[in-house]
Amino acid sequence: MTETDLNRMPLPALQALKGEIEARLAMLERERRDAALAAAREAARAHGYELEHLLPLQLSNPLPGTGEAKKAVAPNPKSKKGVSLGPARYAKPDDPSVTWTGRGRNPNWVKAHLAAGRPLEELAIG
């Protein structure tokens, strides 16, 4: 690695260097995050869990500030979005990974099920 006299560099060269530095920092941060995530998943599995079931996060979202993610939005304290309303009580018949707690608005798949004259109990989990 060589020393660079930043005071003598022209603006376009400084901007290019800045871009390279930001890209390298983002890559290192992703590597650190991925290593931490792998260790957390391993620890969860050692206890018989999957990490995604333990955390109320969407782990697939990229790290904010790396240029890969949408801008982070502060949660609206009046909004219930993202707040767990309790355990899931109903599941979509053709995709059981899609669930509903039974609270709040009925999802479209529940509305369609009820509109077909079928009882809500058919969608109950367990």
Q: Is pLDDT of 88 > 70?
A: yes
Of the candidates 33, 48, 73, which is a domain's last residue? 73
Percent of the chain surpassing pLDDT 90: 51
User: What HEC string does 42-104 produce?
Assistant: HHHHHCCCCHHHHCCCCCCCCCCCCCCCCCCCCCCCCCCCCCCCCCCCEEECCEEEEEECCCC
Highest-confidence segment of 3-7, 62-66, 106-110: 106-110
Does 30 share its domain with 61? yes
Q: What is the pLDDT of residue 23?
A: 94
* Token code pair at residue 44: 């969860």
Q: What is the pLDDT of residue 107?
A: 93
Cα separation of 82 and 56, whole Å? Answer: 8
Does 59 share its domain with 108? no
Mean pLDDT of the chain: 81
Q: Is 115 within the bounds of a domain? A: yes
Q: Is 13 within the bounds of a domain? A: yes
Over the stretch 28-42, which tens digit does the pLDDT of each residue have? 999 999 999 999 989
Does 69 share its domain with 96? no
Does 16 share its domain with 54? yes
Cα torsion through 59, 34, 32, 75, rounded to 10? -10
Number of domains in the chain: 2
Does 103 share its domain with 57? no
Does 34 share its domain with 86? no
Q: Is 4 within the bounds of a domain? A: no
Q: Is 64 within the bounds of a domain? A: yes
Cα separation of 114 and 67, whole Å? Answer: 43
Q: Report the candidate in 81, 93, 96, 85 with the shortest Cα–Cα distance to residue 120.
A: 93
Q: Is 30 within the bounds of a domain? A: yes
- What is the span of the domain harbouring residue 49? 9-73
Does 63 share its domain with 90? no
How does residue 68 score in pLDDT terms, banded at 50, 70 and 90?
very low
Of the candidates 73, 90, 118, which is a domain's last residue? 73
